Amino acid sequence: MKKISILFFAGLLLGTVSCKESEFAEAYPNPAKISESTVEKQFTGVLYSNREYVLPGYTHYFTTLRLSLNPYTQAIGRLNQSGLYVPGSAGVENVWYSYYDMMAQYRELQKIYASRPADQQADRKIFMLAAAVYVYDHTQRLVDVHGAIPFTQAGMLSTNGGEYEKSTAKFDTAESIYAFMLDDLKRIATELNGITLNAGYQKSFQTQDFINKGDITAWKRYTNSLRLRMLNRVSDVESMKARSNSEIAEILGIAATYPIVETNAQNIQINVFDINTDINSKGFQAGLASDGWYGNTAGKAMIDNMNANNDPRLPILFEPGAKAAGKYFGIDPLATEAVQTAQFNNGLVAIYNRYTTSNNQFFPGVIINAAQMNLIKAEYYLRTGNDALAKTAYETGITQSVEFYNKILSLTNATGITGSTIPTPATAASVTAYLAGDGVSWSKATTNAQKLSLIATQKWLHYNVVQPYENWADLRRLDMPVLSFLTDNANNQTLPPVKWTIPGNEITYNTANYEAVRATDKLTTKLFWDVK
């Protein structure tokens, strides 16, 4: 039976999902063998339930990203086939189901927590705060592709004692969801600054938390970095401009109170320690690099930019086509399908480097990283007239991006890839030269528009296929870098969409509530923050 947001069959009866990472395998038993969950175990169930949409896996990359976000950002080059600009229904549904499976776990966590006496709630408060941050992170991601979604009333079937009619969920507007989460994240940031754990619950939190290993400072950084990301997203929305500027100023101005991710050592991600556990990236190879499916083929715009500017990330992120004589070429989005196919069949198209990406089974589940934060800071400082700080944040973000991909390369267990050799890490000297180049240098850009274009381009290069949701969101919000697409005159959707539509199953089973958003549920309806 299909999973839909108003029912949440998966996980509700069990109340938790098994997680088998070695560090907490014993503490987190198979839910099929237990009759009652706990706050601690249910917290892990929230994190675990959508792990395959954080760690790079087959279903996400093959059915969803290959056919929608990655070609829409030209992080990959794909053939110009009719219908390319209509997101595949299976891929969209998979992301929807994954989110609402996680939401089911979260509602069950809230239910279990509410049933505990006050003293037990106080001891376990950290689990609720951390779970909320994680859920809000993924809620923003879903809102940014769909717009209005069921949120405040979603997942209440178990809480409502199985009453179906009482549990149908209204659609909340994207703007109201953002406002709610920004309010609550600010509250959580304050609570985290005052929280203390006794030794027993500190150990329990370390055991159950496979993202930050119970590090409360890391959860503070996650919380405030998420706030920064969301506040920057709405920085051009008239009704939220003042809030965006004032709260970003507060976060960046009082680092001791509102720490964010500043260095790669502080990155928020799911690290893979043992590929023989459920926490692994073994599905990345088939998801990104299945032969002949154009999931890892380079796009011309990205390759041309990296070639022109001697980008030190180029050989780390890409490898030349098998017959390209060591040169990097991407698929031209304006060429005919026949020309594109010939280019690919002749072995000329570069692909994502298999040592760094697809064949690297230790590739982390990327959530928030330092390069991302510094590029957001650069945008904020530019917007508020502080050119010196904008330049520093911009150059720091680029440097950290190179270091980020060097680090991922160092984790690889890929061996024996035919026709390819493991790339050499980028050097500090190559980064220095890159920063001084005409197409990258901050000082050589003479207007704020040119500098914003530099920031947007570096976000695009850094995100590529690794942070596809961030990539598509910023591309739509900034309209930079400017990308060209061939018009699909054989389809009603002639160019890439600006959002996804609601999956068919949700429409079928939540019809009455869907009627409130039906009129705006179109591929051409912009998100509220997409105002340029």
Element (H, E) at 62: none
236 in a structural domain: yes
292 in a structural domain: no
- Taking CA atoms, 417 is separated from 144, 352, 354, in Å, by 37, 13, 8
Element (H, E) at 205: helix 199-208
244 and 302 inside one domain:
no
Q: pLDDT tens-digit profile of 11-36? A: 333 333 333 334 334 444 433 344 57
Look up residue 507 and give its DSSP letter. H
Domain that holds residue 304: 297-352
Whether the bond into 468 is cis, omega within 30 of 0: no
User: Can you give the pLDDT at residue 35?
Assistant: 54
226, pLDDT greater than 90: yes
User: Can you give the pLDDT at residue 7?
Assistant: 33
289 in a structural domain: no
373 and 324 inside one domain:
no
Residue whose token pair is 């914003």: 452
93 and 146 inside one domain:
yes
Angle (nearest 5°) at CA 52 between 48 and 54: 85
518 in a structural domain: no
Q: pLDDT tens-digit profile of 171-183? A: 999 999 999 999 9
- Taking CA atoms, 3 is separated from 90, 161, 487, 516, in Å, by 13, 18, 35, 22
- Number of domains observed in the structure of the chain: 2
242 and 391 inside one domain:
yes
229 and 91 inside one domain:
yes
155, pLDDT greater than 70: yes
149, pLDDT greater than 70: yes
Tell me the three-class secondary structure of 411-435, residue by residue: CCCCCCCCCCCCCCCCCHHHHHHHH
Q: What is the CATH number of the domain that holds 472?
A: 1.25.40.390
What are the tokens at 292? Answer: 């002949």
103 and 185 inside one domain:
yes
Average pLDDT of the chain to the nearest whole number: 93
84 in a structural domain: yes
Q: pLDDT tens-digit profile of 420-478? A: 999 999 999 999 999 999 999 999 999 999 999 999 999 999 999 999 999 999 999 99
Biggest CA pair distance of the chain: 69
For helices 370-383 and 241-253, the axis angle rounded to 10 degrees is: 120
User: Can you give the pLDDT at residue 340?
Assistant: 98
14 and 85 inside one domain:
yes
Residue 184 phi, psi dihedral angles, 5° rounding? -70, -35
Question: Which residue, among 525, 464, 493, 365, has the nearest Cα to 74 in the 3D structure?
Answer: 464
What are the tokens at 276? Answer: 């023989």
368 and 342 inside one domain:
no
Question: Which residue, among 328, 325, 322, 329, has the nearest Cα to 345 in the 3D structure?
Answer: 322
Q: pLDDT tens-digit profile of 233-254? A: 999 999 999 999 999 999 999 9
User: Can you give the pLDDT at residue 13?
Assistant: 30
| DSSP-derived 3-state class of residue 268 | strand
267 and 310 inside one domain:
no
β-bridge partners, 171: 150
193 and 319 inside one domain:
no
| DSSP-derived 3-state class of residue 382 | helix
For helices 39-49 and 125-146, the axis angle rounded to 10 degrees is: 20
Q: pLDDT tens-digit profile of 36-57? A: 789 999 999 999 999 999 999 9
Q: pLDDT tens-digit profile of 317-344? A: 999 999 999 999 999 999 999 999 999 9
pTM attached to this predicted model: 0.94
Separation CA 235–CA 190 (nearest Å): 23
Mean pLDDT (whole number) for 397-404: 99
Pairing status of strand 149-150 against strand 365-368: unpaired
Per the CB < 8 A criterion, the answer to whether 469 and 141 are in contact is yes
495 in a structural domain: yes
290 in a structural domain: no
Amino acid letter, residue 170: K
Give CA 320 to chain center in angstroms. Answer: 27
520 in a structural domain: no
Look up residue 172 and give its DSSP letter. E
Q: pLDDT tens-digit profile of 176-217? A: 999 999 999 999 999 999 999 988 899 999 999 999 999 999
Q: pLDDT tens-digit profile of 345-375? A: 999 999 999 999 999 999 999 999 999 999 9
221 and 147 inside one domain:
yes
Amino acid letter, residue 73: T
308 and 333 inside one domain:
yes
